[in-house]
Amino acid sequence: MASNMRMNSICKFIGSGVVAGAMLLPVTASAEEVVNIYSYRQPELINPLLDAFEKKTGVKANVVFAKSGLAERMKAEGANSPADVLLTVDISRLQGAKELGVTQAVDSDVIDGNVPANLRDSEDHWFGLTTRARVVYASKDRVDQDSITYEELADPKWKGRICTRSGQHVYTLGLISSMIVHHGEAEAEKWLEGVKENLARKPTGNDRAQVKSIYAGECDISLGNTYYMGKMETNEKDPEQKDWAASVRLLFPNSEGRGSHVNISGMSLAKNAPNKDNAVKLMEFLSSAEAQAQYAADNFEYPVLAGAEVSDRVKGWGTLKADPVSIEEVGNARRTASELVDKVGFDNGPSS
């Protein structure tokens, strides 16, 4: 009966329209042969991995996809939640789910062996699956240097030359948080003020829009996640994006020092997982060499498993030296980072 309640709950979830763009794969009757996933990661990325998992284990994966609100939905569902595993991007969402109380610790030597300590929660409530570096996209025509640091972005030589998305976006907050971890709040504030004054315009648009602005000559460098280069280079629906990508090259900040800031996609075990054993099996599979290689190839990301292959396209962008700082520390600084964004008026753009 409890299983039926959970399956009814997941169907009501979809029918309610609370989470926009969600869809559900067919549900089988036996709870012992299924695992239910709430995912912020898109179907085209996740489904091939889940097909491989089902073929390997015989466990059917049922998935809800959504852009927002999944952790909050799990909180509202409480003990009747059908969710077994939460898949998401960015440390903010992983930490946020833990703080909402909708996750639980996982005791798995397999996962601990596959996921480096700096890319997982110290209490084992979440684990990184892939990393993406926050790098500089630089105009091939107007930027001569081949190296850069995050600190340098506040140098007046870049005045009027930087484009970026909102300071309150989770990707930007992750980078600001890493600066707080490395330099302290006061120095991070000075740095953020300097970057603001070097902006070519008010922060707007997504990472790809910044590269479009470089292509259009509106700025010379921008901040963006590495995988967007791959998405632009292979975009058949909007071929113009290939031209944007061809106009820039990637600079990996601080490659001669601590390394480039990386964020993660990751996974958590739901607090009330009705299929806990199958959930842990899935989590162990997603951290395995087979799944890690597929992740890297399909979404132009970096695997967390040591020795897992990076795709040839990603290798072609240059060598990533990742900042080894604990991503948990970065996540813990995100509220302070958000406060600094508002304090310096970052999203208002440069002073006139």
Q: At what angle do helices 43-57 and 289-299 cross, to 10 degrees?
A: 160
Report the candidate in 306, 120, 295, 135 with the shortest Cα–Cα distance to residue 226. 135
Look-up of token digits 């600001």? 176
Domain with residues 133-260+318-348, CATH architecture: 3-Layer(aba) Sandwich (3.40)
Amino acid at 248: V
Sign, CA torsion 116/120/258/221? positive
Helix (H/G/I), strand (E/B), else coil: 136: strand
Look-up of token digits 């990472």? 207
pLDDT for 352 equals: 63
Paired with 260 in beta bridges are 322
pLDDT for 32 equals: 54
Alpha helices in 164-222 (DSSP H): 170-183, 185-197, 207-215
The Cα-based distances of 343 to 334, 346, 348 in angstroms read 14, 8, 11
pLDDT for 303 equals: 95
E-state strands within the chain: 34-39, 60-65, 85-89, 103-104, 127-139, 162-163, 221-225, 248-251, 262-270, 302-303
Which residues of the chain does CATH 3.40.190.10 include?
A: 2-130+264-309, 133-260+318-348
Alpha helices in 148-307 (DSSP H): 170-183, 185-197, 207-215, 227-233, 240-246, 276-286, 289-299
Q: What is the pLDDT of residues 132-160, one digit of tens each?
A: 999 999 999 999 999 999 999 999 999 99
329: number of Cβ within 10 Å: 16
Q: Per-residue pLDDT tens, the chain, 352 aa: give them.
A: 433 333 333 443 443 333 333 444 444 434 459 999 999 988 888 999 999 999 999 999 999 999 899 999 999 999 999 999 999 999 999 999 999 999 999 999 999 999 999 999 999 999 999 999 999 999 999 999 999 999 999 999 999 999 999 999 999 999 999 999 999 999 999 999 999 999 999 999 999 999 999 999 999 999 999 999 999 999 999 999 999 999 999 999 999 999 999 999 999 999 999 999 999 999 999 999 999 988 888 889 999 999 898 999 999 999 999 999 999 999 999 999 999 999 999 999 999 6
Task: Pick 2-130+264-309's CATH classification: 3.30.200.20, 3.40.190.10, 3.60.20.10, 3.40.50.2020.
Answer: 3.40.190.10
Sign, CA torsion 337/340/341/342? positive
The Cα-based distances of 267 to 12, 33, 285 in angstroms read 24, 20, 12
Report the candidate in 72, 64, 131 with the shortest Cα–Cα distance to residue 96. 72
In this structure, the strands spanning 85-89 and 262-270 are antiparallel
The Cα-based distances of 85 to 51, 113, 258 in angstroms read 16, 20, 33
Please state the length of the chain: 352
